[in-house]
Amino acid sequence: MSLLKKWILLLSVCCTATTLLAQKYTISGYISDADNGEKLIAANVFDQKSVAGTVSNTYGFYSLTLPADSVILSFSYIGFQSQEVRLLLDKDIKLNIALSASVNLTTVEVVSEKLERIEESSQMSRIEVPIEQIKKVPALLGEVDVLKTLQLLPGVQSGGEGQAGLYVRGGSPDQNLVLLDGVPVYNVSHLLGFFSVFNADAIKNVTLTKGGVPARFGGRLSSVLEINMKEGNMEEFHGEGSIGFVSSKLTLEGPIIKDKASFIVSGRRTYVDLIARPIIRNQAEEDGDQADLKLFFYDLNAKVNYKINDKHRLYLSAYNGADVFGFETRQNLSENNFTELEGNTDWGNLISALRWNYQISNRLFANTTLTHSRFNFDFGSSVAEVFGEEQDFFSAKYLSGIYDWAGKIDFDFIPNPNHYIRFGGGATHHTYEPGAIQFELEFDDDFQQIQLGSEQSKSWEYSAYVEDDMQFGALKANVGLHATLFSVNGQTYQNVQPRVGLRYLLNNDIALKASYTKMVQYINLLTNESLSLPTDLWVPSTERVRPQDAWQTAIGVATTVFDQYELSIEGYYKQMRNVISYKEGASFIGIENDWQDRVTQGDGEAYGVELFFQKKKGRTTGWLGYTLSWNWRQFDEINSGERFPFKYDRRHDVSLVLSYDFNERISLTGSWIYGTGNSITLPLYRYTLFSQVDIENIGRKNAFRMKPYHRMDLNLSIANKKRKFKKWQSTFNIGAYNVYNRNNPYFVTTGLTASGERTFRQISLFPIVPSISYQFSF
């Protein structure tokens, strides 16, 4: 044998041996809830032998590629009993796992030791709040509110008393990407912001990302709020609901074809109008007139999912919610002569999504989504005077809205435990109705229609991304790029946004984390700072109004102490450019010019430190959050070009949430929040120009601080005794909002005292508000 042949043989043997040694196989499948078939998001899969692991994605899919060997796989999820599976991994294996809910302990108490702990994730500034915990937190009038619970987290603020908007790390509510089953929701609140549109009974999972946003998300500057609806019980018919002061809710779910297709329908409606309507009608009839009232909001969630086979699955989900305020009066002047007056204010969202999951291989998973989202606001009134067969008529309507059609495809590729690669892209078509006023006039059979205000405009937004969650020993990194292209009225903007998240494990319990995020936002919400009205307008970036962009960097430390306390401290710095604001003197109601003439763009700067201390186990659970922050804005055309504190600049923000389980049936939850008062603009002095022109001077914008806000809420839950074979379960919730009746500032207005002297008054909204609600499930 020649030397060459020997070398070739040796090389072949080495290669074969190396191949055999490096032979890897993949275990993949879905992780679901054994009781109802719901897919579990971010459930942990961990091989105890190789110390490698992964988590399930939004659709419960997981994939773990390991060297050929025997493996001890542990599957775990918060509130569920862990499951251990021993396998000989000598081929690719498909393994679907159903985890059972813990029976002896309440849901939020249970955290398996093998769950991904705070210090393990490469992502920082991300918080998942279990829906069961959200349901326990005391709420205004007993209305369980997802967004208000999130306001109790560090780095997240409320705008004011009872408001549902989220102000995340110096951002404004329009800078949050709120996704309901992957579809953007534009208006997240009902009743002037007092209640959020999300019905907790229909929700499976809530995750807020305040910084270090992964590359798969884009389009907003400040945060991503992912809310996933339940899929519907695959096993059996099930229902739950509640009856409260403000509204009642009912959710029904069950299999259409067992283990193949399921549905969920959930509805909520308020009923103040049902109580007030007869009173108003009677009152009007006593005066010989007619009157009617509409005053309610509703939400309707529905979802159907169909498992075509092991590789293909379809989801169709929809949400419709609206606020309806209106009145009708008819004043009878004589037999055939009367005056009719009508007023309406309606606004709401309609969103729908069709999703197709396709498991292309045991390492590659695809999700294709088609979505539609619509938010519209209509405000109008009309007067009709009828004289026999003749009629004079006048009506005025204010219309605004935003309508989206979108398609996107996302891939998850998990080549080995050290890499989790996501990539994809999508396109969205926006249509904007940025505030039009329509007049209709009918007089002496002459009919006229006039439309004023800004014209409808349309835009296309394209995006593509790639990210890899990778691990190198103690270092874990999530590195990605998000690229966007936005086209409106012949103007095109393009941006590449790098994202980096790093985690370095100092030891088993302490991790250092850092992140850098660049974000770009092409759509803007024009909002009046003095009021929170749904008249806020969604408008696109244009040739004159450039896209907003921001970069944020954060650094922090995360640790788990005594296995049950999580502590994280994060510092952040965020710079925003081209943020939008109404010019001085401008208002949303201006119809004499285009919206672009009423706005100006400037810069924002926010920085601060957040502390989050959480206890997840035991009879007492809860968290303490504290934020020390600064938040500035600078516009050339506002405040003489000098920077000023943002209205929601809040130096100190504290939230304490504690829940104590007396036993399996009774628990008491309390929350206490404190926040520095909002910055507002008030005239502070008067001076005279020329001989007698009096000017009220505000000095500097937002120079006046309202009083600090603080409040305590309590909620006591008493459940009925659980009986075997009896499905009906019920819980009474008795609570109080603002327990010590603090007069918290809502807004400041000017008025006259009894002696006619001018004065400034703080208006507070809610004194102590008791609540009682009854929850049931069957």
Partner 1 sequence: MKLFKNIITIVCLLLLVSCSEDFFDSITEVEIPEHEPRLSVTATFNNNIRKQRVFVNYSVGILDDSPNARRVPDADVRLFEDGVLRNTFTYFSRMDGNSNEEVGWFESDDLEFLPEKEYTLVANSDTYGQATASQQLPTEVPINNLTFKENGAVDIYGDRGNEVTLEINDPAGEENYYSISALVFYRFEDQDTKALIGEPVPVSPVDPILEDLNSGIFLNDASFNGEAFTLRAAVFFEKEEGQLGFNYRRAERIRIVLSSISKDRYLFEKTLSNYYDNRDNPFAEPVIVHENVEGGSGIFTLTTPSEAEINL
Cβ nearer to partner 1, comparing 686 with 723: 686
Q: Which of 252, 341, 512, 768 binds partner 1 (CB under 8 A)?
A: 768
Min dist CB 535 to partner 1, Å, is 9
Cβ nearer to partner 1, comparing 515 with 733: 733
688 scored as a contact of partner 1 (CB under 8 A): yes
Could you give the CA distance from residue 694 to residue 621 in angstroms, rounded to a whole number? Answer: 58
Cβ nearer to partner 1, comparing 617 with 705: 705
Min dist CB 765 to partner 1, Å, is 7
Cβ nearer to partner 1, comparing 23 with 697: 697
Cβ nearer to partner 1, comparing 439 with 740: 740
Cβ nearer to partner 1, comparing 374 with 700: 700
CA distances, 7 to each of 20, 119, 381, 433, 561 (Å): 20, 49, 92, 75, 57
Min dist CB 762 to partner 1, Å, is 5
Q: How many CA atoms lie within 13 A of 659 on its CB side?
A: 26
Cβ nearer to partner 1, comparing 447 with 687: 687
Burial class (CB in 10 A: 0-12, 13-18, 19+), 62: buried
Q: What single string gives the DSSP state of each residue in 569-602?
A: EEEEEEEEEEEEEEPTT--TT--SS-HHHHEEEE
Could you give the CA distance from residue 57 to residue 467 in angstroms, rounded to a whole number? Answer: 14
Give phi and psi for 647, each to the nearest 5.
-55, -35
Token representation of residue 776: 């049931």
592 scored as a contact of partner 1 (CB under 8 A): no
Could you give the CA distance from residue 25 to residue 20 in angstroms, rounded to a whole number? Answer: 12
Cβ nearer to partner 1, comparing 445 with 757: 757
682 scored as a contact of partner 1 (CB under 8 A): yes
3-state SS of 266-292?
EEEEECHHHHHHHHHHHHHHHCCCEEE
Q: Residues touching partner 1: how many (CB under 8 A)?
A: 61
Within its chain, how far is the Cα of 226 from the centroid? 6
Q: Which of 450, 697, 726, 728 binds partner 1 (CB under 8 A)?
A: 697
Q: Which of 686, 721, 723, 724 binds partner 1 (CB under 8 A)?
A: 686
How would you label 421-459 residue by residue, b for 16+ Cβ within 10 Å and e otherwise? Answer: bbbbebebebebbbbbbbebeeeeeeeeeeeebbeebeb
CB neighbours of 604 closer than 8 A, spacing ≥ 6? 170, 550, 574, 575, 576, 577, 579, 631, 632, 633, 634, 646
507 scored as a contact of partner 1 (CB under 8 A): no
CB neighbours of 19 closer than 8 A, spacing ≥ 6? none
Q: In which element (H, E) is residue 629 found? A: strand 620-635
309 scored as a contact of partner 1 (CB under 8 A): no
Min dist CB 655 to partner 1, Å, is 18
Min dist CB 705 to partner 1, Å, is 10
Give phi and psi for 592, each to the nearest 5.
-75, -15
Min dist CB 678 to partner 1, Å, is 13
Which window, 227-235, 347-355, 552-560, 765-773, contacts partner 1 (CB under 8 A)?
A: 765-773
Q: Which of 103, 446, 694, 723 binds partner 1 (CB under 8 A)?
A: 694
Cβ nearer to partner 1, comparing 448 with 692: 692
Strands 599-615, 620-635: pairing kind: antiparallel
Q: Which of 683, 720, 726, 732 binds partner 1 (CB under 8 A)?
A: 683
Per DSSP, 96 falls in state -
Q: Which of 339, 487, 741, 777 binds partner 1 (CB under 8 A)?
A: 741
Which window, 70-78, 396-404, 563-571, 759-767, contacts partner 1 (CB under 8 A)?
A: 759-767
Within its chain, how far is the Cα of 379 from the centroid? 26
Interface with partner 1 in residues 515-544 (CB under 8 A): 528-531
Q: Which of 484, 398, 482 is nearest to 433 (CA)?
A: 398
Min dist CB 674 to partner 1, Å, is 15
- Helix, strand, coil percentages, rounded to 5, for the chain: 10, 60, 30
736 scored as a contact of partner 1 (CB under 8 A): yes
Q: Which of 387, 429, 696, 732 binds partner 1 (CB under 8 A)?
A: 696
400 scored as a contact of partner 1 (CB under 8 A): no
CA distances, 724 to each of 111, 536, 627, 728, 737 (Å): 26, 52, 46, 10, 35
Q: Which of 21, 690, 725, 754 binds partner 1 (CB under 8 A)?
A: 690
678 scored as a contact of partner 1 (CB under 8 A): no
Q: What single string gives the DSSP state of each residue in 464-487?
A: EEEEEEEEETTEEEEEEEEEEEEE
Could you give the CA distance from residue 15 to residue 284 in angstroms, rounded to a whole number? Answer: 93
CA distances, 237 to each of 283, 301, 314, 688 (Å): 45, 17, 20, 74
Cβ nearer to partner 1, comparing 70 with 596: 596
584 scored as a contact of partner 1 (CB under 8 A): yes
760 scored as a contact of partner 1 (CB under 8 A): yes
Could you give the CA distance from residue 223 to residue 521 in angstroms, rounded to a whole number? Answer: 11
587 scored as a contact of partner 1 (CB under 8 A): yes
589 scored as a contact of partner 1 (CB under 8 A): yes
Could you give the CA distance from residue 306 to residue 235 in angstroms, rounded to a whole number? Answer: 13
**Which residue intervals of 668-711 are DSSP H helices?**
none
Cβ nearer to partner 1, comparing 685 with 725: 685
618 scored as a contact of partner 1 (CB under 8 A): no
Per DSSP, 546 falls in state P
Could you give the CA distance from residue 137 to residue 150 in angstroms, rounded to a whole number? Answer: 10
Whether 585 and 143 have beta carbons less than 8 Å apart is answered as no
201 scored as a contact of partner 1 (CB under 8 A): no
Min dist CB 545 to partner 1, Å, is 17
96 scored as a contact of partner 1 (CB under 8 A): no
Q: Which of 2, 334, 585, 754 binds partner 1 (CB under 8 A)?
A: 585
754 scored as a contact of partner 1 (CB under 8 A): no
Q: Which of 108, 586, 606, 654 binds partner 1 (CB under 8 A)?
A: 586
Which window, 67-75, 400-408, 440-448, 751-759, contacts partner 1 (CB under 8 A)?
A: 751-759
Q: Which of 558, 545, 579, 548 is nearest to 513 (CA)?
A: 558
Cβ nearer to partner 1, comparing 473 with 585: 585
Min dist CB 193 to partner 1, Å, is 17
Which window, 1-9, 23-31, 240-248, 763-771, contacts partner 1 (CB under 8 A)?
A: 763-771
Interface with partner 1 in residues 645-674 (CB under 8 A): 660, 662, 668, 670
192 three-state secondary structure: helix
Min dist CB 197 to partner 1, Å, is 25
Q: Which residues bind partner 1 (CB under 8 A)?
A: 528-531, 581-589, 638-640, 660, 662, 668, 670, 681-692, 694-701, 704, 712, 714, 736, 739-743, 748, 757-765, 767-768
